[in-house]
Structures are given as structure tokens and as C-alpha cells.
């Protein structure tokens, strides 16, 4: 049953063909047998998972069940989970046991989902390859010598390898979509404010957004409905009802205008990825969609703008990790300054330190106007480009990544090359828009992602277009060898 989608498994449980306890047992066995090759989980909550599965079966027997009731999922280790390790992939929090559940976690638990454990990630969500984790790199199940992408690489690898039915991720500059593309799954970054950030450890507060990582768009629709909603504890949470995403999936795409970003289809894009994306667009054309060309003239500025805004916000957010209240504390500090310096030096890894230093510099006196303020102005130009593009189309399409998964260690000593892996995804976060990545035809045996971008709170249309494409193709059904 591990090869079935969330939607199929929910139907099987509704029909009495399968229990949550049986399915949870199966997933726990797969994790125990196969995750050593991937390192996708930081912790596995076996006892709690089986207890939750038993409750889910009781709810279903009592007629109190929804589509997520009894479904075994995993949470990225950036979400606080009561009485369970929440490490953010960092030594700084290697012993932190959260005293409460993040809103996203609580929402999914209320929907009846079963938590199998917490997934590995780039330290504090800073990375594009899942190589910066204190707990070691995650490996791509399609080729364990390659990266799964980051920072939600643990969630992506676990879903792709069929170790869980679905997982949560977070996306600050592409951290759901990029690993989804590199591992051949569906990953959705909702509109900023659609899912609560309360209890999600902050990296860059104006960019971070939680979202689902699943096998299909149909599954993502069910997960998003369970995750989303207004939260009065989050000042950035949107006060609007949650759409019925599943109801919109069956709408035909005939007449939908899909704008292809011309700046993203040229220099820097691998030929194999370009061919795969073109093949996916051809399928949408056959379904009746109208393919048009659109321009995002300031998209090339998204990477430099992002790598001023995000580090600036991270330097502020991570100031709380000082060795005083919680987190790593150095041994025998001589005074308060020594406590701060050594606790942070020992607790943070190289990439986190790099971004804290960049951000602190950008916010410092004499440089704030030259860097941070200018980056925010560029951010507004990028958002304006999207608004103008949507006057010509309903959905924007592009590659998710410039190439397929690269080998572990290939970019470890070249931060700029690593940052450019998010060149097609970052602009979406700067503009606060929803976007998803779905599998296109593989290139050289490795997954390729097609990115679809929507207008604010238009997740239903994105999921509809993605579902219609997946209804006539099988790219999203492919499984990595050894994990079928």
C-alpha cells in the first residue's frame, strides 16, 4: 500500500480495506529499513504515531473522519511539536524539546493526521541542498550520490521514497519547490499568510511560508485544506476563509492562459530541463490551455535582493539564540560576552554564520540605505512585474530549477553557485505569491520540475491546472529504484 497516494489511501480506509494502524506500521517499517540510506528523518515518534493511528481508526469507526484522518505524515523539523525534538537541523537546538505544537501541526492533528516523526533539513532552513544540517546531509532517493535539494530536503526525500504519505515543508526562497523538483514530487508554496507561521521557527519573517509536499496535486489540495486558516496568534495570517481546493480540481483548463517567462527559458537553463518543461507545456496546450509569452524584466535582480533581505531578517530572528534562555550554551563562560560569543560560535554552522554576518552588515549604520532599503525597492519592482504579467495570463509557468540534482559536495565551496539554484523560485517569495512544482518528464533519469505561479490566494487554480496535467500524464507516479 505504500505506493498509493494520500487520496487513494483515504478511500481505502473509508471502504474498510485498510486501517490507519496497519498503514502506520508499514510506514514505520519502511523508515527503519530504508532511511539509513537517505538520512531523511531526524526523529521517529513510533509509539506516539501508533497511538494516534489507533485514535484515528476509532474516529473513522464512529463516523468522525475526514480525508486526512489516519494518514501517516512527517513534519519538517522547523515546526514546534509538543514534547518532541525541534532542532531546525542545528546544534544550537539539538536538545530542544518544544513545549507546544505549531499551528500547522495542531491543524493537521485536529484533521486526524498521524505524525511519524520529524524530517531533516538545512540548518535553520538556510541552504539549497540539505548539506548544511548538523545531522548530516540528506540523500536523493533517485541517486544517493546527489542532493535532494533544500531546505526541505528531508521531507522531499521521505515522500519520494514512499517513507511517508505526505510531509510539511517551508519555503523562504524555494525550499519546498526546489527539493520537490529534484526528487520528483509535488510541492506547494502557498500565498504568504495562507498558513500560520506561529510555532514555525523563523528564518526570514516576511518570506517564510509553510506548505505541503505530496505525490500529487490532488493530495496537495487535501493537505493545504488541513494546514491553512486564520490564526490570531500570527499577525501576518490572512483573515479569509479556506477555499475548497479539492472541488476545483476537476475544472477543465481549456482557455486558461499560461504565461511562459521568457527570461527563465534561455541562458543558464540546462538543455534537458528546457526540453522537459517544453514537453509539459505541450501537454497543457493539448488540454486546451493557451500558451503565451510573458516577461519579468526585473527577475534577474531577485537573487541579489533576496540575499540582502533574507540574511537581514535572519540576523534579527536568530539573535534570540544567545545561550541564555534555551538552545546550546557553551561550557564555563567567563562572563556574559564570552557566553554570547562561544555559544553562538559553537551552536551555529558555517552557512548560518555567513548569513548572519551578511545581514548584520546590511542593517548596520551607513549601509542600511545602500543595501537593505534598496533591496526592498527592488522587491516592489519584482512584485509589479508579476502584476503586469498577470494582465496577460492566468498562470505563469517556468522551470523550477536550472538543472537536475547535482552531486553531494559539488557546490559546497561555492556559495554563489549554490544560491543560483533558486534563481527561478526566489521572485515568488519576494512578491508573496503562491507557486507549486510538479514533475515534468525526467532528464537523464533524474526528476525535473515544472513551476506554476498564481495570483495572490489563487492556489485553487494552480492545483486545478496541475491536477489536470497529472490526469493525462504519469510523470508524478514514477518511483526511484529501490523504493518502489
Cell numbers found for residue 78 = 522547523
pLDDT score for 419: 86
DSSP assignment of 196-261, as one string? Answer: --TTB--SSTTT--EEEEESSHHHHHHHHHHH----TT-TT---SPPP-TGGGTTS--TT-EEEEE
In a domain, 195, yes or no: yes
Residues in the chain, overall count = 484
Tens of pLDDT along the chain (484 residues) come to 789 999 999 999 999 999 999 999 999 999 999 999 999 999 999 999 999 999 999 999 999 999 999 999 999 999 999 999 999 999 999 999 999 999 999 999 999 999 999 999 999 999 999 999 999 999 999 999 999 999 999 999 999 999 999 999 999 999 999 999 999 999 999 999 999 999 999 999 999 999 999 999 999 999 999 999 999 999 999 999 999 999 999 999 999 999 999 999 988 999 999 999 999 999 999 999 999 999 999 999 999 999 999 999 999 999 999 999 989 999 999 999 999 999 999 999 999 999 999 999 999 988 888 899 999 999 999 999 999 999 999 999 999 999 999 999 999 888 888 888 999 999 999 999 999 999 999 999 999 999 999 999 999 999 999 999 999 999 999 999 999 8
Tell me if the pTM is above 0.75.
yes
- 3-state SS, residue 43: strand
Give the total number of structural domains in the chain: 1
Domain that holds residue 106: 6-256
DSSP state, residue 406: P
Residue 99 is placed in which grid cell?
Answer: 513545549
- What pLDDT shows up at residue 413? 83
Q: Is residue 141 part of a domain?
A: yes
Q: What is the CATH number of the domain that holds 22?
A: 3.90.1300.10
- Tell me whether residue 342 is in a domain: no
Domain-located, residue 237: yes
Which residues have a catalytic role annotated? 76, 151, 175
Name 471's Cβ contacts closer than 8 Å, sequence gap at least 6: none
Would you say residue 360 lies in a domain? no
Q: Does residue 98 lie in a domain region? A: yes
184: left (phi over 0), alpha (psi -120 to 50) or beta: left
Look at residue 287 in the predicted model and tell me its pLDDT: 98
pLDDT of residue 1: 78
Say whether 341 sits in a helix, a strand or coil: helix
Amino acid at each position: 500500500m505504500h505506493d498509493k497516494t494520500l487520496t487513494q489511501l483515504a478511500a481505502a480506509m473509508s471502504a474498510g480495506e485498510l486501517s490507519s494502524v496497519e498503514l502506520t506500521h508499514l510506514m514505520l517499517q519502511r523508515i527503519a529499513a530504508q532511511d539509513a540510506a537517505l538520512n531523511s528523518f531526524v526523529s521517529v515518534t513510533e509509539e506516539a504515531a501508533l497511538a494516534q493511528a489507533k485514535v484515528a481508526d476509532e474516529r473513522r469507526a464512529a463516523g468522525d473522519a475526514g480525508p486526512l484522518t489516519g494518514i501517516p505524515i512527517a513534519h519538517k523539523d522547523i515546526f514546534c511539536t509538543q514534547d518532541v525534538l525541534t532542532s531546525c537541523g542545528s546544534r544550537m537546538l539539538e536538545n530542544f524539546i518544544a513545549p507546544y505544537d505549531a499551528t500547522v501541526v495542531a491543524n493537521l492533528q485536529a484533521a486526524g493526521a498521524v505524525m511519524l516523526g520529524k524530517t531533516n533539513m538545512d540548518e535553520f532552513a538556510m541552504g539549497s541542498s540539505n548539506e548544511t544540517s548538523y545531522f548530516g546531509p540528506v540523500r536523493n532517493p533517485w541517486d544517493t550520490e546527489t542532493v535532494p535539494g533544500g531546505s526541505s530536503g528531508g521531507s522531499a526525500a521521505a515522500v519520494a521514497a514512499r517513507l511517508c504519505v505526505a510531509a510539511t515543508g517551508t519555503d523562504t526562497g524555494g525550499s519546498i519547490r526546489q527539493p520537490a523538483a529534484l526528487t520528483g514530487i509535488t510541492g506547494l508554496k502557498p500565498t504568504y499568510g495562507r498558513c500560520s507561521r506561529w510555532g514555525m521557527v523563523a528564518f526570514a519573517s516576511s518570506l517564510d511560508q509553510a506548505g505541503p509536499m505530496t505525490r500529487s496535486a490532488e493530495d496537495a489540495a487535501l493537505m493545504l485544506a488541513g494546514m491553512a486558516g486564520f490564526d490570531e496568534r500570527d499577525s501576518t495570517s490572512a483573515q479569509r476563509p479556506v477555499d475548497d481546493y479539492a472541488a476545483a480540481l476537476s475544472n477543465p483548463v481549456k482557455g486558461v492562459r499560461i504565461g511562459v517567462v521568457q527570461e527563465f527559458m534561455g541562458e543558464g537553463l540546462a538543455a534537458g530541463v528546457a526540453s522537459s518543461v517544453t514537453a509539459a507545456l505541450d501537454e497543457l496546450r493539448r488540454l486546451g490551455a493557451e500558451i503565451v509569452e510573458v516577461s519579468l524584466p526585473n527577475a534577474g535582480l531577485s537573487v541579489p535582493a533576496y540575499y540582502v533581505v533574507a540574511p537581514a531578517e535572519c540576523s534579527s530572528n536568530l539573535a534570540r539564540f544567545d545561550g541564555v534562555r534555551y538552545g546550546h550554551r557553551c561550557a564555563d563562560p567567563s562572563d556574559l560576552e564570552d557566553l554570547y560569543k562561544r555559544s553562538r560560535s559553537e551552536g551555529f554552522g558555517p552557512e548560518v554564520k555567513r548569513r548572519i554576518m551578511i545581514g548584520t552588515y546590511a542593517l548596520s549604520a551607513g549601509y542600511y540605505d545602500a543595501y537593505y532599503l534598496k533591496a526592498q525597492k527592488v522587491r516592489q519592482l519584482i512584485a509589479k512585474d508579476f502584476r503586469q504579467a498577470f494582465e496577460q495570463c492566468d498562470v505563469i509557468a517556468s522551470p523550477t530549477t536550472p538543472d537536475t540534482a547535482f552531486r553531494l559536495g559539488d557546490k559546497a565551496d561555492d556559495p554563489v553557485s549554490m544560491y543560483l539554484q533558486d534563481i527561478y523560485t526566489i521572485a515568488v517569495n519576494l512578491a508573496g505569491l503562491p507557486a507549486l512544482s510538479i514533475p515534468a518528464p525526467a532528464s537523464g533519469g533524474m526528476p525535473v520540475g515544472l513551476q506554476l505561479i498564481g495570483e495572490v490566494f489563487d492556489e485553487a487554480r494552480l492545483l486545478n491546472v496541475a491536477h489536470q496535467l497529472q490526469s493525462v500524464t504519469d510523470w508524478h507516479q514514477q518511483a526511484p529504484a529501490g523504493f518502489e
